[in-house]
Amino acid sequence: MPVPVGNVAATLGENVGENVKSNAKNDEKHMRAIHRFTARTLETKSPVPFGALIVNTKTGKPLLRATNAVRRENDPSSHAEVRAVRQACRKLKRPSLAGFTMYSTCEPCPMCMANALWARLDRVVYGATIADANRHCLQIHIDAREVVRRSDMHCVVDGPVLRDLCYSLFTHPNMQKAFRTWSSSKRSSKRKT
């Protein structure tokens, strides 16, 4: 028999309000960290607005971080989230990231969210939204929560967290200049149609 939601908090003996505040504080801390890491690319020849950080869900200890490398690796699947999952699984020498949370500067696209599900991540927390990214580059318009809803696997999706901060990666002048050279930019796709 299912336990009513009201009894779950009492059964756990925890102050749910405090846990939510603690999660929000930790989410912002980790989002700021991946924003800073990703922002470093804005001063390089290959700036990207997409970064991902994987941390231990219980301790918050960072495992690793990655940025988008599609252009650098000539691989359309080299999104930050996919690269982070690949590297984390390689580092842990196992295909499961159960017990871990991913922070992404942008809401994961369907490919990245599906990868997070297959990796069994506990949570995915994002900053900017797919709609935000779509102002500058092509996107598949299926939100991360919808991918989870259509899956047999479970993963909590939280966001947006620090949306304006993460969106600033897209609007940085160096990123705007780079978008004009991307074949997936909104401007490039309009010229081809």
Asked if pLDDT for residue 162 goes beyond 50, the answer is: yes
Q: How confident is the model at residue 22 (pLDDT cuts 50, 70, 90)?
A: low
DSSP string, the chain: -PPPHHHHHHHHT--HHHHHHHHHHHHHHHHHHHHHHHHGGGGSSS--S-EEEEEETTT--EEEEEE--HHHHT-TT--HHHHHHHHHHHHHTSS--TTEEEEEEEPPPHHHHHHHHHTT-SEEEEEE-HHHHHTTB------HHHHHHTSSS--EEE--SSHHHHHHHHHSHHHHHHHTT-TTBHHHHHHH-
Active site residues: 81
Q: pLDDT tier at 183 (50, 70, 90 boundaries)?
A: confident
Percent of the chain with pLDDT over 70: 84
Read off the pLDDT of residues 78-95 as tens digits, 9 standing for 90 and up. 999 999 999 999 999 999
pLDDT tens by residue, 106-130: 999 999 999 999 999 999 999 999 9
Let me know the angle formed at the C-alpha of 87 by 78 and 46, rounded to the nearest 5 degrees: 40
pLDDT in the model for residue 182: 86
pTM (2 d.p.): 0.87
